Amino acid sequence: MLKPESFAAGAWIAPGDGARAIHGPNDGSQIALAGGAGLDVQAMLDWARNTGGPALREMGFHDRARMLKALAGYLTERKEELYALNTLTGATRRDGAVDIEGGIGTLAVIAGKGRREMPDGQVYVDGAPEGLSRDGSFVGQHICVPLQGVAVHINAFNFPVWGMLEKLAPTLLAGMPAIVKPATQTCYLTEACFRMMIESGLLPEGAVQLVVGGVGDMLDHLGAQDVVSFTGSADTALHLRGNVNLMRNSVRFHSEQDSLNATILGPDASAGTPEFDAFIKEVSNEITTKAGQKCTAIRRILVPQSAMSDVAEALLARLSGVKVGDPGDDSTRMGALASASQKADVLEKLAAFAPETRRLTGDPEDTGANPAGAYLAPTLLQCDDPDAATALHQMEAFGPVSTLMPYRDLSHATQLANRGGGSLVASLVTADADVARQVTMASAAWHGRLYIVGGANAKSATGHGAPMPHMVHGGPGRAGGGEELGGVRGVLHYMQRTAIQGSPEVIAAITGQWMPGAPTSTGPAHPFQRTFAEIAIGESLETKARTVTLDDIEHFAHFTGDTFYAHMDEDAARANPFFPGRVAHGYLLLSFAAGLFVQPDPGPVLANTGLNGLSFQKPVSPGDSIRCRLTCARKTRRTDTYGEVAWSVTLTNQDGDQVAQYELLTMVSYDR
C-alpha cells in the first residue's frame, strides 16, 4: 500500500485520519492512501516567502539554470524508479516516457534556454533602452525581476511528473519558490519524483513544497506577489478564479484547461500521398496515446467531404490493430484510463454525443482485459452535419475518443476548428504553403499553437500532441488564456516587468550591463590581455585614427569581388541619395576597426564568435578617418574555463560623428 506524503515547511507529513483510498485503474484494487493530514498553510507560505524566495533570488539566472540542469541529470539516473510506479496509473511504458522523460527533458531545455537567452545576473533586461531626453541624460529601460511571493501549482492527473516539472522549470528559473499540489489519483508518482528532488540536495531550502490531498484555505492567504498556475477542467478553473481573495489582490492566475483540439486534412492530401499517410498515423496516435487523456489530444478530425470514406477506412484499419490491456504487458498498445470515475465521465460524454454522431468503432460496453479495470476501446465517431452539432463543439470526452467531420472548403474547415472556442493546438496536414497561410490567417487567433506538417517533414516533426518547452503551451478562450511554456516567455510569468527611469549610470548599475552614456573606465592593460575575471563592465579602449584612402577602397573591392557601383563609380554614387560620391565598404570599415582594436599577442581572448546589431549611420568617403571605442557591455559565464564578453563597438569619423556600431562577442579564458 503506497502512502504518499506531503512536504511542508521542511517536514514530511504522512496521510492523516481523513486520508482517501486510491483505487488503481488496472483492476480496481486499492493501491494507495493519500491526504487527510492537517497542514499549516500559513507556515508553508511563510517558509516559501521568507526562506525559499530569498535563497533563490540570491542566485543569478545562470546559477538557477545550472541547478535545473543538474536536477534533470539526477532524475534521469533514477528514472527507472518512476517507471516502476508508472503502470499503476494505467499508462504503458511508452506513455510513461511522455510523462517521465518528457518532464525531465523539459527541465533540461528550460535550463539551456536560461543559460543562452538570459543574463548571467539577477535582472532580466526586456528590450532596448528608450531615450527620454534630448541630451541622453535621462533614459528608460524595462526590466523583469522575480516576484517576491510563492507560486501555487495545481496539476492534473494525466501527467503526474511532466505536469509538475514543466511548471517548476520556469518558476525556479525565474527565482520564485513553489508549492506543488498534484491530482490525488496519481499523486504517488508525483511524490516519488518530488522526493527525489529533495534527496538530491540541489534545491535551496524552501524552494519547493508538496501538498498531497487538498490545499485547504491556501488560496485565501495569497497576495499580490503570489501566482496560481492551474491545469484541469474549465469548471474547476472557474471555481478557483472566482476566489474573492484572488480577485481582490489581483493574484496572477494562469490556467490551462479544457481544449477541443482539431486537426485538418488539407485538400491536397488525398489518399496515397505522404501527407495522407502522416495524417492517419498522427490521428491514431492522438486517440491512443495515454488512452486519449491529453489536453492536446485531437478531438475533432476535419477532412474534405470527398475524403471521408478514405479517412474512415484507413483509421479503422489502424485502430483495429491496437491492443488494449494491462499496461505492464509489453505487447499492450493502450492501457486503462486513470480511474473508474474518469471512465464514467467519458461514457457520459459519449452519451451526450450520440444524437449528433454515429459510432464507427469502439464499443462502450467492451470492458477490455479486466472488467474491474477502467479500460475503454479506441472510439471513432462520425458526425455528418458538423454545422448542426453543438455538444461536439462544447464538450470534451477526455479519453480515447475522436470525431470525424466533413468540411466543404478551407473557410468551412477553419470555422469548424474555431468553434471549439479556443484550443491549445490545432494541426494542419498539407504540402501546400498557400493552404497553410490561409488556415493560419483564419484561425491562429483561436489557437495557442498551430502544428503544420507535410509529408517531407512528418518523420522529423515533434507531433500534434507534444507540447515543446521552446514553444507556447496554452491557448485562448476555453483553453484558459494562459501560456505555461514558451521558453523565456514562460519564465516571465513569474516575474514583474517594471519600467525604470534614470540616468544611464543608474540604469547600468541596476541592470549590470553598460549602456551608452554610462561611465567608462580604462584598464591597466589592453582589454584583450585581461582575463574574464579581470575585465570590468564599462572598461573601455579608444583607438588611434586611421585614414581611409581611395586605394584602400579599390583594393578591398578587387580583393573581395565587391565592386558595387557606390564604391567604384563616382557619378553613379553621387546619383544615389544616400552617398556624396564613392564611399568605403561597410565591411572594410569593420576590418579596419578590428585592426585598430586588436591586440595580436597570445592572451586570454580565445576567439571572436560573432557580432550583433550591426548598423551603419554615415558613409565614409576617401580621405575620412575613423577611430573605434570598444567598451565591455556585459559578461556571461559559459563554462568553468571561459566566458563570453560582449563589447559595444562604435566607429566615429574625424568630426566625431558616429558612422557605425555593433556588438562584438569574444570568448575569454578565466586564467592566463
- State the first-to-last Cα distance of the chain, in angstroms, to the nearest integer: 60
Name the nearest CA neighbour of 224 among 248, 242, 251, 246.
251
- Cell matching residue 430: 498539407
Catalytic residue flag (residue 632): no
Name the nearest CA neighbour of 203 among 82, 304, 64, 5.
64
The answer to whether 556 and 585 are in contact (CB under 8 A) is: yes
Sign of CA dihedral 153, 90, 25, 340: positive
Catalytic residue flag (residue 256): yes
Cα atoms found within 13 Å of the Cα of residue 101, Cβ hemisphere only: 9
Q: Cell 489519483 sits at which residue?
A: 185
Element (H, E) at 212: none
Quick one: 536 exposed, middle or buried, by C-beta within 10 A (0-12, 13-18, 19+)?
A: middle
Element (H, E) at 475: strand 474-475
Residues 295, 383, 628, 632: which is the catalytic one? 295
Q: How far apart are CA 191 and CA 199, in angstroms?
A: 12
How would DSSP label each residue in 142-187? EEEEE-SS-EEEE--SS-TTHHHHHHHHHHHHHT--EEEE--GGGH
| 334 DSSP β-pair partners | 324
Q: How far apart are CA 51 and CA 10, in angstroms?
A: 10
Q: How far apart are CA 231 and CA 181, in angstroms?
A: 11
Amino acid at 325: G
Residues 5, 166, 191, 256: which is the catalytic one? 256
Q: How far apart are CA 458 and CA 274, in angstroms?
A: 9
Dmax (CA) of the chain: 93
The rounded Cα 173 to chain-centroid distance in angstroms is 12
Q: Alpha helices, DSSP H only, in 27-120?
A: 41-47, 53-58, 61-77, 79-86, 93-117
- Cell matching residue 517: 552614456
Amino acid at 382: Q
The 3-state secondary structure of 554-613, one letter per residue? HHHHHHHCCCCHHHHCHHHHHHCCCCCCCCCCHHHHHHHHHHHHCCCCCCCEEEEEEEEE
Quick one: 631 exposed, middle or buried, by C-beta within 10 A (0-12, 13-18, 19+)?
A: buried
> Would you please indicate which residues are annotated as catalytic (active-site) residues?
256, 295
